[in-house]
Amino acid sequence: MDLFPAIERLRRERRAIILAHNYQPDEIQDLADFVGDSLALSQKAAKTDAEVIVFCGVHFMAETAAILAPEKKVLLPAPDAGCPLAEMAEPEAVLAAKKEHPAAAVVAYVNTSAAVKAVADYCCTSANAVRVVRTIPYEEIIFLPDRNLGHYVARQVPEKRIIIWPGFCVTHHRIRPEEVEAVRATHPDAPVLVHPECPPEVVDRADFVGSTSQIIKKVKEMEAETFIIGTEMGILHQLRKENPGKKFFLLSPGLLCPNMKRTTLERVHHALRELAPVVTVPEPIRTRARTALERMLAIT
Matching CATH topology for 3-82+260-281 and 86-168+286-299? yes
**What is the model's pTM?**
0.95
Model pLDDT, residue 300:
74
Model pLDDT, residue 95:
98
* CATH code of the region 3-82+260-281: 3.40.50.10800
Q: Which long-range contacts (CB under 8 A, 24 or more apart) does 95-101 make?
A: 95/119, 97/142, 97/144, 97/163, 98/142, 101/140, 101/142, 101/163
Residues 29-85 have pLDDT tens digits of 999 999 998 888 988 998 999 999 999 999 999 999 999 999 999 999 999 999 999
Model pLDDT, residue 42:
85
Q: Which CATH number fits domain 171-250: 3.40.50.620, 3.40.228.10, 3.40.50.10800, 1.20.1740.10?
A: 3.40.50.10800
Q: CA Rg, the chain, in Å?
A: 19
Model pLDDT, residue 210:
97
Model pLDDT, residue 162:
98
In the predicted model, residues of the chain with pLDDT beneath 50 are none
Ranges of each domain in the chain: 3-82+260-281, 86-168+286-299, 171-250
Model pLDDT, residue 38:
85
Model pLDDT, residue 254:
85
Homologous superfamily of 86-168+286-299: NadA-like (3.40.50.10800)
